[in-house]
Amino acid sequence: MSRLILLLIILPLLSFSSPKHVKERLIELSPGVFGVLGTYQQVNKENRGFISNAYFIVTREGVFVVDALSTYKLGKELVETIRTKTKLPIKYALITHYHTDHFYGVRALKEAGATIIAHPWSWEYLESNASGRMFRARLDILGKDLMRGTKLLGPDVATQSSMSIRMGGEVFEVHHFCKGHTDGDLVLWTPRRKILFAGDLVFGGRVPFLGSGNSRTWLLCLEKIKELSPEMLLPGHGEPLVGKDNILKQVDWTANYIKDIRTVVERLYMEGYDVEEVKRRANQEMLNINPEYSQLSVFFEVNPVNAYYLYFEIERELLERQ
Ligand SMILES: [Zn+2]
């Protein structure tokens, strides 16, 4: 059975219905390691913005959280969900990257006492016009009620390379491998458990978003992930990946998508098409390479947007090469 067909069996489980509370999507992935899995959709009122995953690891001294979900409300539900498993303090929260669906719930984790960790790019992002624009766009979609209390808060601690944290006899390694999905992606690696919390660097069964990082160095990130050889990979969206072979396949799948769309956009660019035409042709060109792309959730919506951003990235690369 091809991996795409396998994913198609799993996908409906995530895209089927929108939970009323984050805790309805709680699963224990490994002893003491929990995830709440968002719906496989674009943000809308019905899913309340719960379209990404968050995770938490319970140690004997406290809790380590990965990502904060899309709104203050959802962040509070995440804290309530953690409280169904432990009364120990929530000590740390790593934000894998400053995209709306991963950090808008930060306030709730800070109120719960967590030290927030992210890449320093997050501060740059918060000061940019883009962050204000994104906030207004989210407000337009979700409305005041669902967005109530959401504040754009930066991290307490930032790293642009690596750091290790010891808590409850466990080591938590935070790494920035390279610019990929954004300019400031961090991953969390737990060496003893061999679990990698990969943020949006690896997408399982969903088209990766290429609009705010660097697709060329993203491919290098994926090589580093393969070198770690995780036994479980927990992505920012979609199904947790279990087993080295399955993980390798998904990492390669993400790499192949990026390589394919880079090839398509570069060729169309060289043929002289403007950005709007490249965007318009992107889906058919990708389907010519691999018809199975059509079966991926949000392919038809996200792929043209990726082509749009890549057009400028590839133009910059070509200018630099001259
Ligand atoms: Zn993202």
- Cα(255) to ligand 1 centroid in Å equals 16
- Cα(60) to ligand 1 centroid in Å equals 31
Alpha-carbon gap, residue 273 to 265, rounded angstroms: 9
- Cα(203) to ligand 1 centroid in Å equals 10
pLDDT digits (tens, 9 = 90+) for 183-214: 999 999 999 999 999 999 998 677 889 988 99
| pLDDT for residue 10 | 47
- Cα(61) to ligand 1 centroid in Å equals 30
- Cα(54) to ligand 1 centroid in Å equals 12
| pLDDT for residue 3 | 41
- Cα(272) to ligand 1 centroid in Å equals 31
Alpha-carbon gap, residue 263 to 269, rounded angstroms: 10
- Cα(135) to ligand 1 centroid in Å equals 15
Which residues in 201-224 are b (16+ Cβ under 10 Å) and which e? Answer: bbbbbbbbbbbbbbbeebbebbee
* DSSP character string of 132-160: HHHHHHHHHHHHHHHHTT------SEE-S
- Cα(207) to ligand 1 centroid in Å equals 11
DSSP H/E element including 245? helix 244-270
- Cα(80) to ligand 1 centroid in Å equals 24
pLDDT digits (tens, 9 = 90+) for 138-186: 999 999 999 999 999 999 999 999 999 999 999 999 999 999 999 999 9
The structural architecture, per CATH, of the domain 3-257 is: 4-Layer Sandwich (3.60)
| pLDDT for residue 42 | 86
| pLDDT for residue 16 | 58
pTM of the model: 0.91
**Residue boundaries of the structural domains of the chain:** 3-257
The residue type at 152: L
Given a cut of 50, the residues of the chain with pLDDT beneath it are 1-12
- Cα(278) to ligand 1 centroid in Å equals 23
- Cα(100) to ligand 1 centroid in Å equals 8
Per DSSP bridges, beta strands 157-158 and 115-118 are parallel
Apex CA 12: angle with CA 11 and CA 15, to 5°?
A: 90
